[in-house]
Amino acid sequence: KAGVTQTPRYLIKTRGQQVTLSCSPISGHRSVSWYQQTPGQGLQFLFEYFSETQRNKGNFPGRFSGRQFSNSRSEMNVSTLELGDSALYLCASRLGGGDTEAFFGQGTRLTVV
């Protein structure tokens, strides 16, 4: 069974640009969450999608947005990039409902220059 797939693995963008990251969850999983990891702030929750609906949102500005498609694949978009957005962005896949285990992808390393 394939794991969580995130693309691309690495990305370099310029300040002011926008970026879209993609996440394909484990087959059959309906919940996709996004997290940002930085050396200073650690792992922080961005948002969760379940059945194409955003169910939870973390404390990030509106420049961070996401969506989920009918096949459960999810995209995360960051507009007007800032240097501080440089981070490892992680996607977590979960079956949904009451189960607990969330399985993470390898992440996308975004560098803003």
Question: Which residues of the chain form contacts with other proteins (CB under 8 A)?
Answer: 4, 6, 31, 33, 35, 42-45, 48, 50, 55-56, 58, 88, 90-92, 94, 97-98, 100-107, 109
Nearer to other proteins, 45 or 86 (CB): 45
Helix, coil or strand: residue 72: coil
Rounded to a whole number of angstroms, the minimum distance from the CB of residue 39 to other proteins is: 10
Question: For tokens 């929750």, what's the residue?
Answer: 45
Rounded to a whole number of angstroms, the minimum distance from the CB of residue 70 to other proteins is: 20
C-alpha–C-alpha distance, residues 40 and 14, integer Å: 21
Q: What is the CA radius of gyration of the chain?
A: 13
